[in-house]
A and B are shown apart, each in its own frame.
Chain A
Amino acid sequence: MCRASDLAIRTRRLRKVFSGKVAVRNLTLDVSRGEVFGFLGPNGAGKSTSIKMLLGLVFPTSGEAEILGRPAGDVKTRSKVGFLPEHFRFYDWLTSTELLKLHGRLYGMSHGMLRERVPALLDLVGLAPHPDKPLRDFSKGMLQRIGLAQALLNEPDLIFLDEPTSGLDPFGRRLVRDIIKAQRARGATVLLNSHLLGEVEITCDRVAFIRDGEVVETRQLNGESEEQITVSIRAVHVNAEVVDGLSQWTPSVRVDGERLTLTLSSNALLPEVVRYLVAKGADVYEVTPQRLSLEERFLQIVGSDGGL
């Protein structure tokens, strides 16, 4: 369990109701500092509303939310936060340089700082050849890139990226991945909301599956997993009594000839199960942990209706 000061994001029973319609039911979430955290869920699961509550754009109906140790919406804390909205809209009569300077000034950055930072960011997002182009002449992908640059202006400690790869070609998606990696290396926390599960799987340290405004499951993507796994075991001399004995580790065992399929709450339990089987006289020929892919788990949680 992390101390509150180690957390970049902390919510407890966060709830938002819009005109009688529940958008976020009960969001309890901890995101550690320095983590790249993925928010996954079907359309209408409450992901964007949750992000807006954390940023102080939407006021919660009940519950608590903190970012960087301060209540969500705290004006001073926003100087350490970057945000790329899901549909980044902007003053399209500005040029890319003017837009970044405007947002930089809203962050309280000096003209001197902006003189260095703005060209560097335009270069980072591949817009260096277009410093004076009005945004109304930008393509969708270019707008997404300038939005991303805007979210990184203040070298934030916490970055919210709501569908950052929307409208981007493969080069743009790779750019987003590289930027997220660079932010993690810098020690920043990134909350990534994306429908592209492949991107999330590559980029994130941990993900939360959200449905109906609740965290259904969190899953570690890098390093040792503490998540539930399904194991397929091929063994002989396994009688009904031995199968019953497996109930201490798993609520359900499927037996199909020599093959046992069981679900364990953690990978760490697997050696114990194997030791038990061998001790009971079973001959174990094969043990195959079957980790569900992010996409399979997503579909399992969302269901066939896609959350609609």
Chain B
Amino acid sequence: MGVWIMTGVTFREAARKKMLWMALAAGGAFLILFGTGLHFQAKDFAAHGMNPVLRREMSFAMLTMGLYAVDLLAVLLTILTSVDTLSGEIASGTIQAVATKPVPRWQVLVGKWFGFVGMLTAYIAIMVGGVNAVTYVTAGVTARHLIRGCLLMWMESLVLLSVTFAFATYFSTLTSGVLALGLHGLAFLGGWIEQFGALTQTQPAVSVGVVASVLMPSEALWRRAAFEMQSPLANAMRISPFSTLSVPSKAMVFYAALYLAIALVVAIRRFSQRDL
């Protein structure tokens, strides 16, 4: 019961503090901009009588670019909105009146976690759906495996959410934010090193990328999502900057799921055992 009460409070807080609405408004502005750009691009392709295959691939590249931007927005939204919920309430003492109620501490944490999961699920579904809808209407293409890709992007947010929660049970808001963003930055850099390593067939560089993904699998999930969603030709030809030259394996996806679960368990254990 305590879980759902805290989930409701967290969701309501996001709505009442206008976090959710602002994120959606910014997302809406992004979709308008994206759609406008895509519309003129498609018009230009038609005017120049571009080869339909090339036109389709260019539209796919635009779609992947749009999804990449959504992924980045989702990553930032995940970390920036959730980082203060535990450490901020611990520092201010807000948590004291809640943690002295007949509700186990794990329920307070898991309830908050579910609240953010709900918010992120809505955001990712709307934004990924929106980008695909805009691309379909203007250029006639949609992601190859939309649901699979969307779930992988969702999972990436959940990994970051759980890691941010775990940090927030140990450190202050600012430190937790820096650590979570820093860890994702490490994975991001590792991902690009791995890509270039694959392009130049430099095995040590690929290994560096794999190690970075083991340390934080968030970026690997995006690359797997991109692989699932973009056209087979782009994947094969390695022509786009978002192409996945070195595709994270399914084992990496399972590892990310395990990573997510462990981060959440660490957060629960630490929150249950620490002084408030």
Contacts and interface: CB of A to CB of B under 8 A. Distances in A.
A182 to B, nearest CB: 21
A89 interface: yes
- Chain B interface, DSSP helix/strand/loop, else mixed: helix
Contact of B94 (A81, A89, A103, A107): A89
B98 interface: yes
Nearest to B108: A106
A85 B97 contact: yes
Contacts of B204: none
A75 B102 CA distance: 5
Interface stretch (A51-59, A255-263, A294-302): A51-59
Interface in B123-160: none
A99 to B, nearest CB: 9
A93 B97 contact: no
Contact of A102 (B9, B17, B99): B9
A81 B93 contact: no
Contacts of A89: 89, 92-94, 96-97
Interface residues of B, number: 23
Given A59-B275, A108-B1, A91 B100 contact: no
A149 to B, nearest CB: 12
Contact of B101 (A91, A93, A106): A106
Interface in A48-73: 52, 55-59
Given A57-B96, A58-B276, A85-B93, A106 B16 contact: no
Contacts of B89: 89
Contacts of B96: 52, 57, 83, 85, 89
Contacts of A90: 94, 97
B102 A79 contact: yes
B2 A106 contact: yes
Contacts of B104: 75
Contacts of A93: 13, 16-17
B273 interface: yes
A130 interface: no
Given A85-B96, A89-B93, A150-B97, A105 B5 contact: yes
Contacts of B93: 85, 87-89
Contacts of A78: 100-102
Nearest to A77: B102
Nearest to A99: B97
B172 to A, nearest CB: 15
A3 interface: no
A87 B26 CA distance: 36
Interface string A1-40: 0000000000000000010000000000000000000000
Given A85-B97, A89-B93, A90-B94, A102 B102 contact: no
Given A75-B103, A106-B102, A58 B275 contact: yes
Contacts of B98: 103, 106
A88 B95 CA distance: 10
Contacts of B94: 89-91
B205 to A, nearest CB: 43
Contact of B9 (A85, A87, A91): A91
23 contacts: A52-B275, A56-B100, A59-B273, A75-B103, A75-B104, A77-B102, A78-B100, A78-B102, A81-B100, A83-B97, A85-B93, A85-B96, A89-B94, A89-B97, A90-B94, A91-B13, A93-B13, A102-B5, A103-B97, A106-B98, A107-B102, A108-B1, A150-B97
Interface of B: 1-2, 5, 9, 13, 16-17, 89, 92-94, 96-104, 273, 275-276
Given A57-B275, A87-B93, 12 more contacts: A56-B99, A57-B96, A57-B276, A58-B275, A59-B273, A78-B100, A88-B97, A91-B13, A103-B97, A106-B101, A106-B102, A150-B97
